[in-house]
Structure 1
Amino acid sequence: MSSLRAMRRHTRGLLALVAVLAAQVLMLAAPAPSYAASGSANAITVELSSLSPAIAVKGSTLHLAGNLVGGSTSRTNVTVRLAVAEMQVRSDMTSNAGVGSRLIFGHDYTAGTIASGATVPWALSMPVSALSLTSQTVYALDVEAYSGDVRIGATRTYLPYAMNGDSSFHATQMVVVWPVTAAPTLDGQVDKDVPEAVSDSLATQFAAGGRLDKALSVPASIKNVTVSWAVDPDLLTTADRESHGYSLYPDSDAGVGAQDASIWLSEARSVLSSGGELWQLPATDPDLGSLGRSNPTVAAQLVQSATSRSGSTIQDLVGRTPQGTLAWPADGQADSGTLNLAKAADPGAVIVRADSIGLHTALDSYTPTGRAQVGGQALAVSDTALDAIFAGDAADAAWKGSNQSLLASQRFLAESALIAQERPNLSTPRTIMVTAPRGSTPDPALLTAVGEASWIKTVGLSTLLSAKSDPHAQTSAPKRAAATVQSDLSTTQLSATSSLNASLGALTSIMVGPQPQQATDSYYPAVLRTVSTAWRSASTQQIEFSSAVANRLDTTMGLVTLVKKSDLTLSGKSGIIPFTVENRFNHPVRVGIRITTDHGGLTVQSITVQTVQQGSTPINVHVSSKVSGTRVTVTAQLVTPDGADYGDPQSLQVTVSSIGSVTLIIFALSAALLVIAVGLRIYRGRRTRAAHAEPDSSGASTDNGALADAEREQ
């Protein structure tokens, strides 16, 4: 078999040599062309809009069509020609139009004069046999525009030819991971069982023809394609909650997408419960890359919380149990911090991209199976070039005006065909993986190309996870690409989430009994949503969402507060400062009060944690002072049973006035004199009344007051 394959390779090489020599003879008969830079202002843009067939076979006819768009100057005698170049290995795909290609003569299209800025259609048709192609080979097709002998524009696409192999050929196994995720909307506020959304962005995505609708319907509709779904359970929870109605922050207007959310959730039940493999992400799809460079303890707590909150959500809402949890950092980029954090998700699989860990074989002689061990951790590895195609490859985007879906499909067919031709006689076919980017809209043409490639057999992620790492493959230390690092959530954003997490922990800890804690449960996913991977491309929206969550959480925490006090004066070395704890929850809470001062001479009692009932509860704080005539700032802070601060502190100014011994003597003497004075006044009053009551000549007593009254009457 190996000798037959060697003979086939030699024959292929001989035919290619003959074709090249023939082309050179034809070119010698014509004037040698000169080349103008395609990107220059006076160049013509060659647009490609259609190509058929996508995979050429013997006896078929090749059809290409598009437009020519004039540059800054008019061009005359414009002709469109096709050139082909054989792609022998994957690295050849990095070359540009005109590199290594040979012109196909006798099938030109004459466009004539192209005025500046004008658009003129072109079309080429020719039998595939005219291209002198070799079976089981991939070719670059260069559509080139000439003005006389000067090339003034070009575009490149690809064409696999006669790919059906013999019985020794083994199709490459390919895993297609498709995310079902979106930017979060619910801020955790629930009023009368109606959730609140910070934006109505999901309404159009849930609707028929929306992005999330297509994320399910398009992959599920493509024949011969098995998809491994990567679903954010929190998105399903959001759809379920919004399907019953929701309001919008901050004006409490009614959201418009309840019905669409309900219909989409029904679609999710239908699609996710039947086709492909079902995997889940940690709830809210936390950004492992950004969190990996933050506080390791807090980051691990957040990821563990996200994983635990995934729970049975998918089973409950879809009716199918996921096969496991995926730790999948943004763009498949991971460093050591990311991989360490991924363990906190207790993942069934960790997905990274090949360029992040440098997965390759010596001299890049072939593409290894997408499985690797890095730092003792097993990884599922996606193919860098294939991922780029699904993300909108910049190499194709450079061909302005062309059908980008067509270019992507043809590039995918070419890349995957070249992979399949690498060491095709492996007894166990290699398994590679491609991951669609989060937030993308599926391209039906691209997925159709996956299904039409006979050299590919799509399989589930579990197949890759059961495969062994290639013993000949090499890796390097994990590293994240610079572009990915630049799109990380900022330190300020991560700090805000850490603060929210601490505040929520404090709120939960003061609750008494399980029922009150259920009222705070909606805030946990809200805090996690502030570090969702979806925010990497929407920093402004993340800040708005995080602020909304913070405002809502602050409002809820504000139901337990210390009532503000006015400044006071203590008339002695000891006394009481009365504080009041206001509890506006409809259930008791447990809090304490920690008192601090800015002066060491004042000793203040701290209040241990106690149960505070609904309403206002006065609490007396005893103080004592070793100094006098001093103004001391006293700060009271509510604390949780764990000793953490709760809410904002309250401060007041306390003036300590002390009374000395001399002052006390003076005060005592003054008081004694006052008592004596009062006694004398009383004594004199009695003497005066006794003097007025004197006896008359008959021995009877006369009331002087009555006598005076009688005289006034006369």
Structure 2
Amino acid sequence: MALFTGTPLLAGLLLVPHAPAAQAAATGSGTVEVSIESMTPAAPTKSDSVTVSGTLTNEGSSTITHAHVGMHRGSSLSGRSSLDNASPSTGYVPGVDGPEVKGHKEKVDNLAPGGSRSFSLSVPVKDLHLGDSGVYRLGVSLSGRTQAAPFERVLGINRTFLPWQNGAAGKKTQLTYLWPLISTTHLTAETDAAQTPVFRNDDLAAELAPGGRLQQMVALAKNLPVTFVIDPDLLATVDAMTRTYKIGGPDGPVGKNQAVAKQWLNDLEKAVKTHEVIALPFADPDLASIAHRGKSVPSALSHLGPATELAAGTVDTVLGVTPRTDFAWPVDGAIDSSIVDVATSAGAHNVITRSDSLRDTGGLPYTPTAARPIGGGNNAIVTDARLSRTFEGDLSKADNASRAVQAFLAQTQMINLQAPGRQRSIVVAPQRMPSASQAHAMATALRELQDSGGWTEPLNLTDAAKAKPDPAATRQIPSGAAYPRSLRREELPTSAFRQVQSTQAALDDYRVILAQPERVVTPFGTAIMREMSTEWRGNPTGAGSFRHSVRGYLNGLAKKVHLIQKSDATLSGRSATIPVTVQNNLVQGVEHMTLRLTSSQPNRLDVGKSQQIKVDGGHSQSFKFDTTANANGRAWVTAQLYTEDGKPYGEPMTFQVNVTEITATVMLVIAGGVLLLVLAGVRIYLQRKRMAAASSEDGSDGDDPDDGEDPDGAGDGPDGGEGTNGDDGGTDGDKPEQPSDPKPDTGSESTDPSGSGEKVDR
């Protein structure tokens, strides 16, 4: 019989290794997942009832019957580290969780495998039998039966923290909570002719719209005791969004979310009237990256001062309040001596750090006041690391958010209980860009803390910085070796700062030629500041892309002012004019420039003096250079634009000039030849005049044709060169002379004396 009964057992053991791990784990007090999604009030008083709500999920393989939900008041916790080690969902431990509170349970219908059901259980505080002030474990369990265990037992349990203040607290802890309003980079350096800003995308609208992250941050904070910490770049971006704006891209549309932007700014303006405002340097520069990677680039530090000045002006202009600008906030509050030096160099005398960076080594039995003098008139504001990191992670799940709220309250009470008779000031700096769900959890915790009125009181950051420091608290700034490697790996590289320097230099060269430099200085100046933002931590691709886009756009604008290529020229005189054309395709005019020509052979070709340039926007203009040729041949001429301080601007333009100008010696030869021609003409004229006179003398011997040596009228005939062509007795001399006729000259046979000044060949 034993053999047969053992067979099923053996078969079961053989099947166990093949069962899924999750199936094997969902047994005992881990069969049911108990999720605590809310606890109200979070910090109850004696007259309250504690209500816990949540969800039950059967992770087992069989239906749960005869089930109910019960509450357990566990033991109190001692010390802040005990809160860190308290596990919310391990199996039921009677010595830790305590017995189920009698008389208060909620029955639960049968729960099939994989099934879920919500629950809500209320228990009066008096029935929890709480003792002295402290933080207690509060457990919620589901007890029931399964087919494998047909008797009642705890099948699932979850725990949370129950802060309890029994009577009045001693000296309340002063609590400062920073409320950051920071976003990613949305504006580019681009603008159009009407100075319309161009956005990288329209994602900011979703953050500003009802239910969006930034809208929720403002709506939640307006009635909370918080200190706003604002990146002025966000304000400038939203302010630009209230007017006409465009979305970047080849066919980027015009933005349509002006109303959303206006409403958000209006809500924020109302909220800050009753709150302190801290303005970070414009675009929230990464101080650690500048200190560690930018220090070898001389211009990196030069941006911090202008960023701080711009921050104050932006907040004042947009919100109408004067912010504090003497606070610096390195990433995650991690500091070393170089970071402090960089932060204070721009006038920030208060450096917000964190207790896991500036660690207390004096063995204090309590959490010291946040403010610490660190020399040089500067203070470190040491935020509490545990409280600052409480609301990280995915808090979109109600159970995670509820536990974070209870943990925050428990930590603050534990701080107060460490030294109830000592006044201390604690500062909390959460993550830079909380999600909407994280913001809701933070707001819930602060409201619960406010409503309890038990162990804390609010304090703004300015007063926290003035609080009397604890003399035993650590003030020694950690060395660079202590800076977390994980954060160092995310820093901007040195090459990024060199690119920033190069872009700034190009902007400086470009701005000096503009008639209205402010049109480009503002958008490009702020874009360069954004290149050093903490936003780019862990996103080297995005950071590089943004830097390249800024420089590429600047280069494109600079190239719109250029020289138009000139074809080769020929000079055929001693002096000539060479025109060179400057094209300005910008919207605005350019001035304070010089156009200079340089000859490759100045002895051959002198290209004249440089000229001042001024060209209206959208126009081209030719500038004429008076040149002088000294010798024949070819010469290369280079045209180059220069800024007012003598720096070359743009690409040079080169063309060739062929000099065919006649030299002075040749001119003398030609002049001599011309003189000879003139003299020859005079000689011919005198000869003709003499011949005409001689002809007149021959005619005076007798006008009658019958009276003469040749009565027949035949004359000498062809031999004599004289005679008649007809019967009319007319001579050749009576015919008009044609221009093409050969010019007469003095015959060798003539015996008449030569004319005055005339040369006669004998």
Q: 1:138: Cα distance to partner?
A: 0.9
Seen in structure 2, the aligned counterparts of structure 1 residues 67 and 252 have a Cα distance that, compared at 3 Å, is closer
Aligned to 1:368: 368
Q: 1:485: Cα distance to partner?
A: 3.1
Aligned to 2:8: none
Q: Quote the Cα distance in structure 2 between the aligned partners of 1:41 and 1:622.
A: 97
1:420 paired with 2:410, answer no
Q: 1:272: Cα distance to partner?
A: 1.0
Counterparts of 1:294-443 in structure 2, within 5 Å, are 294-295=294-295, 297-347=298-348, 349-358=350-359, 360-363=360-363, 365-374=365-374, 376=376, 377-392=378-393, 403-426=399-422, 429-440=423-434, 441=436, 442-443=439-440
Q: 1:519: Cα distance to partner?
A: 5.2
Seen in structure 2, the aligned counterparts of structure 1 residues 623 and 267 have a Cα distance that, compared at 3 Å, is farther
Structure with max Cα Rg: 2
CA contact (8 A) 2:316 2:323 kept: yes
Q: 1:456: Cα distance to partner?
A: 0.8
Q: Quote the Cα distance in structure 2 between the aligned partners of 1:526 and 1:314.
A: 18
CA contact (8 A) 1:282 1:345 kept: no
Q: Match for 1:320: what amino acid?
A: V
Q: Quote the Cα distance in structure 2 between the aligned partners of 1:166 and 1:497.
A: 57
Q: Match for 2:211: what amino acid?
A: G
For residue 54 of structure 2, the aligned residue among 53, 60, 66 is 66
CA contact (8 A) 1:200 1:255 kept: yes
Q: 1:594: Cα distance to partner?
A: 8.8
Seen in structure 2, the aligned counterparts of structure 1 residues 564 and 402 have a Cα distance that, compared at 3 Å, is same
For residue 83 of structure 2, the aligned residue among 81, 93, 114 is 93
Q: Which runs of 5+ in 1 are unaligned?
A: 1-37, 659-663, 709-714
Aligned to 1:198: 200
Aligned to 2:643: 640
Q: Quote the Cα distance in structure 2 between the aligned partners of 1:194 and 1:588.
A: 21
Seen in structure 2, the aligned counterparts of structure 1 residues 401 and 438 have a Cα distance that, compared at 3 Å, is closer
Q: Quote the Cα distance in structure 1 between the aligned partners of 2:174 and 2:213.
A: 28
Deviates further, 454-463 or 477-486: 477-486
Seen in structure 2, the aligned counterparts of structure 1 residues 530 and 319 have a Cα distance that, compared at 3 Å, is same
Counterparts of 1:129-168 in structure 2, within 5 Å, are 133-143=130-140, 155-161=158-164, 163-166=165-168
Aligned to 1:52: 40
Q: Quote the Cα distance in structure 2 between the aligned partners of 1:609 and 1:307.
A: 41
CA contact (8 A) 2:641 2:652 kept: no
Aligned to 1:23: none
Q: Match for 1:379: what amino acid?
A: A
Q: Quote the Cα distance in structure 1 between the aligned partners of 2:264 and 2:141.
A: 46
For residue 221 of structure 1, the aligned residue among 216, 220, 223 is 223
Seen in structure 2, the aligned counterparts of structure 1 residues 378 and 700 have a Cα distance that, compared at 3 Å, is same
For residue 616 of structure 1, the aligned residue among 605, 621, 627 is 621
Counterparts of 1:642-661 in structure 2, within 5 Å, are 642-644=645-647, 646=649, 648-650=650-652
Q: Match for 2:79: what amino acid?
A: V
Aligned to 1:697: 723
Q: Quote the Cα distance in structure 2 between the aligned partners of 1:596 and 1:356.
A: 62
Counterparts of 1:541-620 in structure 2, within 5 Å, are 542-543=543-544, 545-564=546-565, 580-584=581-585, 586-592=588-594, 610-614=612-616, 615-618=620-623
CA contact (8 A) 2:391 2:430 kept: yes
CA contact (8 A) 2:139 2:158 kept: yes
Deviates further, 525-534 or 128-137: 128-137
CA contact (8 A) 1:228 1:460 kept: yes
Seen in structure 2, the aligned counterparts of structure 1 residues 522 and 556 have a Cα distance that, compared at 3 Å, is same
Q: Quote the Cα distance in structure 1 between the aligned partners of 2:599 and 2:214.
A: 57
Q: Quote the Cα distance in structure 2 between the aligned partners of 1:570 and 1:46.
A: 97
CA contact (8 A) 1:334 1:480 kept: yes
Q: CA RMSD in A?
A: 5.1
Q: Quote the Cα distance in structure 1 between the aligned partners of 2:123 and 2:282.
A: 54
Q: Quote the Cα distance in structure 1 between the aligned partners of 2:301 and 2:525.
A: 15
Instruction: List per-residue Cα deviations over 1:608-637 (Å, max 9, x = no partner).
Output: 89444444354769999xxx99x99x9876
Aligned to 1:240: 239
CA contact (8 A) 2:311 2:325 kept: no
Seen in structure 2, the aligned counterparts of structure 1 residues 606 and 134 have a Cα distance that, compared at 3 Å, is farther
Q: Match for 2:179: what amino acid?
A: W
Q: Quote the Cα distance in structure 2 between the aligned partners of 1:180 and 1:536.
A: 18
1:445 paired with 2:471, answer no
Seen in structure 2, the aligned counterparts of structure 1 residues 309 and 143 have a Cα distance that, compared at 3 Å, is same
CA contact (8 A) 1:174 1:459 kept: yes
CA contact (8 A) 1:591 1:638 kept: yes
Q: Match for 1:697: what amino acid?
A: G
Q: Quote the Cα distance in structure 1 between the aligned partners of 2:590 and 2:324.
A: 43
Q: 1:434: Cα distance to partner?
A: 0.6
CA contact (8 A) 1:487 1:536 kept: yes
Aligned to 1:505: 508
Seen in structure 2, the aligned counterparts of structure 1 residues 77 and 62 have a Cα distance that, compared at 3 Å, is same
Aligned to 1:32: none
Q: Tell me the percent identity.
A: 26
Seen in structure 2, the aligned counterparts of structure 1 residues 191 and 405 have a Cα distance that, compared at 3 Å, is farther
DSSP-derived class of the 2:298 partner: helix
Seen in structure 2, the aligned counterparts of structure 1 residues 495 and 126 have a Cα distance that, compared at 3 Å, is same
DSSP-derived class of the 2:35 partner: strand
Seen in structure 2, the aligned counterparts of structure 1 residues 598 and 700 have a Cα distance that, compared at 3 Å, is closer
Q: Quote the Cα distance in structure 2 between the aligned partners of 1:210 and 1:350.
A: 31
DSSP-derived class of the 1:510 partner: coil
Counterparts of 1:442-481 in structure 2, within 5 Å, are 442-443=439-440, 444-453=443-452, 454-474=454-474, 475-477=476-478, 479-481=482-484
CA contact (8 A) 1:187 1:552 kept: no
DSSP-derived class of the 2:299 partner: helix
Q: Match for 2:406: what amino acid?
A: Q
Q: Match for 1:554: what amino acid?
A: N
Q: Quote the Cα distance in structure 1 between the aligned partners of 2:534 and 2:524.
A: 18
Seen in structure 2, the aligned counterparts of structure 1 residues 76 and 315 have a Cα distance that, compared at 3 Å, is same
Seen in structure 2, the aligned counterparts of structure 1 residues 525 and 694 have a Cα distance that, compared at 3 Å, is farther
Aligned to 1:25: none
Q: Quote the Cα distance in structure 1 between the aligned partners of 2:246 and 2:723.
A: 105
Q: 1:388: Cα distance to partner?
A: 0.3
User: How many correspondences in the alignment?
Assistant: 637
Instruction: List per-residue Cα deviations over 1:437-466 (Å, max 9, x = no partner).
Output: 222232132332332352111111111111
Seen in structure 2, the aligned counterparts of structure 1 residues 310 and 54 have a Cα distance that, compared at 3 Å, is closer
Q: Quote the Cα distance in structure 2 between the aligned partners of 1:497 and 1:207.
A: 34
DSSP-derived class of the 1:322 partner: coil
CA contact (8 A) 1:230 1:280 kept: yes
Q: Which runs of 5+ in 2 are unaligned?
A: 1-19, 27-32, 689-717, 725-730, 741-762
Q: Quote the Cα distance in structure 2 between the aligned partners of 1:39 and 1:597.
A: 87
CA contact (8 A) 2:511 2:520 kept: no
Q: Match for 2:333: what amino acid?
A: G
Instruction: List per-residue Cα deviations over 1:61-90 (Å, max 9, x = no partner).
Output: 54434334455x625669877473432111
Q: Quote the Cα distance in structure 2 between the aligned partners of 1:581 and 1:516.
A: 19
Q: Quote the Cα distance in structure 2 between the aligned partners of 1:247 and 1:92.
A: 54
